[in-house]
């Protein structure tokens, strides 16, 4: 009743896999741990997942300046865990 089932989103993969491995999830993760998928339940359809990234091996921190404020925009620092 008044419940909308949420499908798996690619942003849920990193926190879910981190949980399964027993490691901290990435700090910048916007997804959620999908325990419902780990417990089984309704039938699922396998679909291919393609990972796209703009990391390109950039190890030095990159910043953007918007309206005089600096924001982190990449580099190895973005891959840090909690």
Confidence of residue 67 (pLDDT cuts 50, 70, 90): confident
Tell me the three state secondary structure of residue 74: strand
Do residue 1 and residue 39 come from a single domain? yes
Full domain range(s) for residue 24? 1-51
Residue 51 CA to residue 49 CA, distance in Å, equals 6
pLDDT digits (tens, 9 = 90+) for 27-36: 888 888 888 7
Residue 27 CA to residue 78 CA, distance in Å, equals 8
Q: How many domains does the chain have?
A: 2
State residue 65's pLDDT score.
76
Distances (CA, A) of 48 to 7, 10, 51: 15, 11, 10
* Paired tokens of 58: 């950039």
Do residue 63 and residue 47 come from a single domain? no
Confirm if 51 and 35 have CB atoms less than 8 A apart: no
Do residue 44 and residue 17 come from a single domain? yes
Do residue 37 and residue 4 come from a single domain? yes
């Amino acid at each position: 009743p008044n419940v909308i089932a949420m499908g798996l989103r690619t942003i849920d993969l990193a926190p879910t896999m981190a949980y399964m491995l027993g490691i901290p999830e990435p700090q910048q993760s916007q997804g959620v741990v999908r325990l419902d998928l780990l417990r089984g339940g309704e039938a699922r359809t396998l679909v291919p997942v393609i990972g796209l990234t703009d990391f390109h091996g950039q190890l030095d921190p990159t910043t953007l300046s918007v309206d005089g404020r600096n924001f982190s925009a990449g580099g190895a620092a973005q891959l840090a865990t909690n």
